[in-house]
Structure 1
């Protein structure tokens, strides 16, 4: 199969590192013009330099209404929207206060809702488009050490399903990717927080054994492996897949259905 996104513009939020950057790199290799977003202009420019093909950047905090307005003014329309931006971290469930719950929903859910609401009309009027959300295995298997994160990712599944219904029959598809435990800088810090210091391979193995024993892969997923699925779902080849939560979780979710 050949994924060809030549002539398409793709916006990837939270793309200065990790999964977002891998997605941007993958979409660019497929021929798309990629727009990277992030709060730090320096990191964003450094990330864009690693993208092979047409790439531009828009720096700003898209979790705020002002940052959202700046982004959509700079990039009024896109063909592919990848809502990848998200925050995560461990916390005692009984110690998570209302402000922290609101912060997780503002960043992980409402930011994606605002962008979807803005870009969907242009896609539907053109008869083609792709909206994708980076969700998580934690949306289905809520982790005890970060239920605020898990619940925010569960909410995204309802968001994508609802928007998919709203654009039924238009040629636009809306899907989520259920990413499993993935090897990023942030996850390395998270692993260290839970299992302590020591050689990385040992720390990773202890983390998977103690905190993610359901994984059939028995290792962290690489960002490029998530990006491969996103590129497929963003392509014309995935024209019959919409309203779906597609798993790239290393078999972590113990279910026989997607």
Structure 2
């Protein structure tokens, strides 16, 4: 089985770090021209240079209507859209104010709404396209200390399923990928002190999973590449019969088998 995305243009939102960066790297390795997005000029430029293969980038804040509009103006069409950008602050539900909820909603959900609304008609007209939403096992296994995050990821499941139905029979597929604990940059940020003291991220991942996600079957955190492998597959022509699906890369954390 060979995944070949030569001739396809893929936009990956929030692609300068973590899972987004892994998605961009995986899609570029499969031959796609990747559009990198992020809020850091240095981060965008660095990844574009690394990817090669006609990659290009845009410094935009996709948590705002203006940022989405700027991207759409610069890149009016694409074959693949990976709605990856997201933030995941911890916080007690009873102490989390409206502005935090609104920011999470704008970044995690509305960026995906705005871009999907713009790019899906283009894909339908072309008769081929792939839209992927990065949800999370937290969408169905809501963490008590990140309820706002879990709610946003549940919304992405609903959005992806509804949009899959909205483009039924067009050659365009829409799916959600649900990572579990992953050894990403964001995960590492939670353990800055431990890492500075010489701890290994992989070992911290094992400890975190055993303590906080004991139902995990693999009993460790996934690598970024393990998540991006699923994303790249579902973005490829090989996944043509997979749509409206919630594809888990959670290591078996969620108890249900489907």
Matched, 1:188 2:204: no
TM-score normalised by structure 1 residue count: 0.95
Residue 104 of structure 2 is matched in structure 1 by 104
Cα drift, residue 17 of structure 1: 1.1
Contact 1:81 1:131 in 2 (8 A): yes
Residue 204 of structure 1 is matched in structure 2 by 205
Find the aligned partners of 1:185 and 1:94 in 2 and give their Cα distance: 28
Q: Which runs of 5+ in 2 are unaligned?
A: none
Residue 57 of structure 1 is matched in structure 2 by 57
Cα drift, residue 206 of structure 1: 2.7
**SS at 2:207 equivalent:** helix
Find the aligned partners of 1:192 and 1:77 in 2 and give their Cα distance: 39
Residue 252 of structure 1 is matched in structure 2 by 253
Change (3 A) 1:202 1:9: closer
Cα drift, residue 215 of structure 1: 1.3
Residue 11 of structure 1 is matched in structure 2 by 11
Q: Which runs of 5+ in 1 are unaligned?
A: none
- Aligned ranges 1:108-123 → 2 under 5 Å: 108-123=108-123
Q: How many residues align?
A: 257
Alpha-carbon deviations, 1:211-230, whole Å to 9, x = none? 12121111111111111111
- Aligned ranges 1:226-245 → 2 under 5 Å: 226-245=227-246
Residue 133 of structure 1 is matched in structure 2 by 133
Find the aligned partners of 1:80 and 1:141 in 2 and give their Cα distance: 28
Cα drift, residue 54 of structure 1: 2.5
**SS at 2:78 equivalent:** coil
**SS at 1:15 equivalent:** coil
Superposed structure 1 runs of 4+ greater than 4 Å apart: 191-198
Change (3 A) 1:186 1:35: same
Find the aligned partners of 2:172 and 2:203 in 1 and give their Cα distance: 44
Find the aligned partners of 1:109 and 1:3 in 2 and give their Cα distance: 29
Change (3 A) 1:215 1:79: same
Find the aligned partners of 2:196 and 2:149 in 1 and give their Cα distance: 21
Contact 1:191 1:207 in 2 (8 A): no
Residue 149 of structure 2 is matched in structure 1 by 149
**SS at 2:10 equivalent:** strand
Find the aligned partners of 2:198 and 2:152 in 1 and give their Cα distance: 31
